[in-house]
Amino acid sequence: MTDPASAGTGARDPDALIARAGLRGDPNRDQHFLVDDRVLDRLPGYLPEGTDASHLLEVGAGTGALTDRLLAVADRVTAVERDPRLAAFLREEFAGEIDAGRLTVIEGDALDVDLPADATASVSNLPYGVSSEIAFRLLPTGTPLVLMFQREFAERMAAEPGTPEYGRLSVTAGHYADVAVVEPVPRGAFDPAPAVESAVVRAVPRDPDYAVPDDEFFLRFVTAAFTQRRKTMRNAIRNTAHISKLDDPKAVVAAADEALMGKRAGEVTPAEFAHLSRLAWEVGDPAERE
C-alpha cells in the first residue's frame, strides 16, 4: 500500500474552495464537505499498492477538495456531482485541468448517469443517503475502491461471521472484494458536521474462494436469510421463499446438513451460504431455472 501520509499533494485549500463556490453544504441534500486536509491527503494513499491510477472516479465531488488530491496522483479524473451549482463551480475552478483533458465533470445522480467503463479505481466521499446503492454499483466493476461511509455502515461491510455487525452487507460486499476499515473519521472533519461518525473503507477486488450457481440468486438468497436473522436457517429458508423465489424451500431444508440448518444467519460463513445457494439451486426450484 502507498504511504497514506505522503500521497496527497493537492494545493487547493478546502475552506477556500467553499468560499470561492459561495455555497454551504446542505445536510438536507446530503452535502457534508470533507475539509480536513490531513484526511484528504491520506485518501488516495489508501489505494492498494500497484493500483493503476491512470483514471480515477470520484462520486460526490462537492467543491473539489478531493478532486484536487486525485488530480495530483492520477492521469485523469472523472468527477460526478449531482448538484448543478457545484458542477458549474467545478467546471470553473478546474477549467485548466478540463481543457488539458485531465478532468471530466459529469453532472447528475451517480445512480442514473453512465459511469466511465475505463475507470481504474474510485476514491470518493459518498453521499451517505445513497452510499449503499452507489457502493453496489461500484463493487461489481472489479476495481479498487476507497470510499467514505457512515462508520456503522463501514463496520458492517467489513464484519466477520459471529460478530454483532455481521449481516447481509458483510456477505454481499465480501462477495466482490476484501473489505477493510482503514481509518475512522470524526464529525469535525466535515463542513457542516454530520450527525454520525464516518470511516474510510478500502475494497480490494477478488474472486471469492467459493462457487455460486448464479450471482443474483446467491445475493437474493443471502438477503432472504438475513431478513429473519433471529430464526434458525431451517425456519429462515422456509419462511422467505417469497424473497428467495424458491418454489420448494422444504426440499432445501431436507437436503441440507442438520447442524447448518440449526445455525442462525449471523453464524453462517460466506462459504456456507454459497454451499446452501448451490443446494437451493439444485433442489429448491428457483425462479431463474424456470
Burial class (CB in 10 A: 0-12, 13-18, 19+), 245: middle
The set of cell numbers assigned to 186 is 470524526
Is 109 assigned a ligand-binding role in the annotation?
Answer: yes
Is 37 assigned a ligand-binding role in the annotation?
Answer: no
Question: How many other CB atoms are there within 10 angstroms of residue 113's CB atom?
Answer: 13
Is 60 assigned a ligand-binding role in the annotation?
Answer: yes
State the maximum Cα–Cα separation within the chain, in Å, rounded to a whole number.
Answer: 66
Is 97 assigned a ligand-binding role in the annotation?
Answer: no
Cα R_g (the chain), whole angstroms: 21
Q: What is the dihedral angle through the alpha carbons of 138, 142, 146, 149, rounded to the nearest 10 degrees?
A: 40
Is 107 assigned a ligand-binding role in the annotation?
Answer: no
Is 214 assigned a ligand-binding role in the annotation?
Answer: no
Q: Which is it for strands 33-34 and 121-125: parallel, antiparallel or unpaired?
A: unpaired
The answer to whether 60 and 110 are in contact (CB under 8 A) is yes
CA 169 to chain centre: 10
Q: Is 20 helix (H, G, I), strand (E, B) or coil?
A: helix
The set of cell numbers assigned to 224 is 432472504
Rounded to whole angstroms, what are the CA distances from 290 to 62, 151, 173, 282? 46, 41, 28, 12
Pick out the residues of the known binding site. 32, 34, 60, 81, 109, 125
Pick out the residues of the known binding site for S-adenosyl-L-methionine. 32, 34, 60, 81, 109, 125
